[in-house]
Structure 1
Amino acid sequence: MKSRTATLLICALAGVASADTISTQTNFDIDGFSGGVITFDRFDDMGGTRQLTGISFDYDQTMEFDLTIESNGYTALNAGDWLLDAGYYTIHQMGVFGRGGDGGPSFPAFGAGGVFSDPITGDLGISDGYNQSGPDTMQTTIGQNFLFNQSFDNASDFGQSVLDSVTGTGQLDTYMGGISELLFEWVNDPNWVVDPDNPPDGPFDGPFVDPYYGIFVGFDRIQHSGTLTVTYEYNTVPTPSGLLVLSGAGLIATRRRR
């Protein structure tokens, strides 16, 4: 019986797919206002002989943004009178254009990290007009270099949609965009009141249609750059012809034992 058991074990091992990984890497430098395309090699299933089971996105990246903060108030503000939180977080979409607009499925997308400020404050003088300079204005830069990982497998529908989107031949164009965020808080509200006979200088748009006193914040630059490493985890699927030959050999060995 020992020879029979050994023969069946060999046949069983021949039918097990082997696991392996392969990686591709690309650099990117993106204007956060408009977003940009990141291109990398797709996973080639080699005519069905390889099955993608998992994927890992590793971002070694730097995110930075510049802010201009300007008061148009008629009294000066001290550091601590106001607080501002600012941030920028990214969204990586596994495709560029052409899907979702007709009600069909869209490309899968997921976060790729973000950068957020500590509370910002400072001295702002009496307004000298809306000119983005002078004692009523301050500039600051928020930035960070950091590592970020997103991994997916075929255990969920979303994970499978990511695997499907990267499977194919050649290269895949993906889209990296982002969302900026501001949160303002008065600690000591100056309670500025608009004089209708002498309204403050603008411009006034968005939520500030009427003349308004306040602190105006603008993103002057948003930059996102770094290196993306995509690692594919896959199984090599054994060919049917190889399994047939080994099965036949097993049957012959079994008959010899009898």
Structure 2
Amino acid sequence: MTDTPADLPPPVYKRVLLKISGEALMGDQNYGIDLKTAERVASEVKQAVNSGVEVCLVIGGGNIFRGLSAAAKGMDRAAADYMGMLATVMNALGMQTALERIGVQTRVQSAIPMTSICEPYIRRRAIRHMEKGRVVIFAAGTGNPFFTTDTAAALRAAEMGCDALFKGTQVDGVYSDDPRKNPDAERYDQLDYLEVLSRDLKVMDAAAVTLMRENAIPIVVFSIHDKGGLARVLSGQGVCTVIGQRPAANAN
């Protein structure tokens, strides 16, 4: 399960950031981290690392605490967002444990310093970790309230010089509507950043999409639940939606 499929061509990306939601770690639970689900996601990351791709991650915190929802109910927005950042640290530590159990060296770096449990975010150190084959998980968002983990993922992808931002979602790409509710929703193979913004397709928040557009970093949307899906999409195969320019080896 953790070995890269032998029939796949070499990856067309060298360094990527994988963004997944906190909800993706819940499995069939209503709250928290499902260990089997975390282990399955970890095996997907291991396949990518075994293929030679340098990987970093950003994980949301919605499975534990959602700051925006709490703010909507009357909680101070800044305080709610800081609580959400702490939830992302919990998820990062859980994913680190799952990865290291299957032999993947991992470092957690937090935008909010908490040196007793993880490293502070230091850009050059993070790059060096990836160059050594370690997976780096960026926690605590940007360290500032009023910014989503989507924006944090876009920021870190730009800072790390990633070839693409991979967003693992509940479905296999970007649709005109929620395909789980609307069977007639149209699926897109490729989109431009401005199309995503003008159609309000809800792939990522506008700040994240704009940051990726300004840095010419493609966003690759795929299903995190598809076994072996990450390795296939990294090799230019598999089902996904690419926002921006596809790599030359994967161009149609």
Q: TM-score range by the shorter chain?
A: under 0.3
Higher strand share: 1
TM-score w.r.t. length of structure 1: 0.22
* The structure with more radius of gyration: 1
| Larger relative contact order (CA 8 Å, sep ≥ 6) | 1
TM-score w.r.t. length of structure 2: 0.23
